[in-house]
Amino acid sequence: MFHAQILTLFPEFFDSPLHCSIPKRAIEDGKVAVDCIQIRDFANNKHHKVDDSPYGGGPGMLMKPEPVVAAIAEARKRQPTTHVVMLTPTGAKFTQQKALEYIKKDSVTLLCGRYEGFDERIVDYVDEELSMGDYVLSGGEPAALSVLDAIIRLLPGVLGSPESAVLDSFTEEGMMDWPHYTRPEEFEGKRVPDVLLSGDHAKIEAWRLNQAKMRSQKRK
């Protein structure tokens, strides 16, 4: 079983997404276990304060190192081989290839930030920094959910058809998926390409590969 841990100030953020569709089935079938660890539980002050103003001035607040590092230590205690990932705009960009790397591990722990980010010293306690792209979110929770969903659907036995994950966009040499069509054959004057109706599997595969290459070149 793959173990995912999420270090967060808002565990409730994940309640609904993990109780529907593919993640729900994966959890119920014992393919993955997801545990949320409340960072605030590790604050060493009366009011469970986890943030403070930055040295040198500036807007916003930063997450303090003490509770975050203590939460990371708890995650490593629960799953000694876990790979701890800090979700931050300054990290390397998340890709499908990265998701494929993660499913080879026994456990991944996703660290969610808030406010203006983390005290820089926390970086020394994680294994990797990861970004979802060149934009800023209100917190790491949406990013963690995206990473978690990408991982779960790749786990063996999770999808109804094993080929679904193999043929996904970006899985093969970073290429996008080809166009897909279903019934009816014609919709508002637009027909399904004749090659897909031909029954010639060699031509269909060649068409799909060509379309995938063209789409990848155009959209990148």
Q: Supply the residues annotated as catalytic.
A: 89, 116, 153, 168
- CA atoms of 180 and 43, how far apart (whole Å): 51
* Beta carbons within 10 angstroms of residue 142's beta carbon: 15
Q: How far, in Å, CA of 216 to CA of 204, rounded? A: 18
- Asked if 143 and 117 touch (Cβ cutoff 8 Å), the reply is no
Q: Is 157 left (phi over 0), alpha (psi -120 to 50) or beta?
A: left
Centre a 10 Å sphere on the Cβ of residue 14 and count the other Cβ atoms it contains: 19
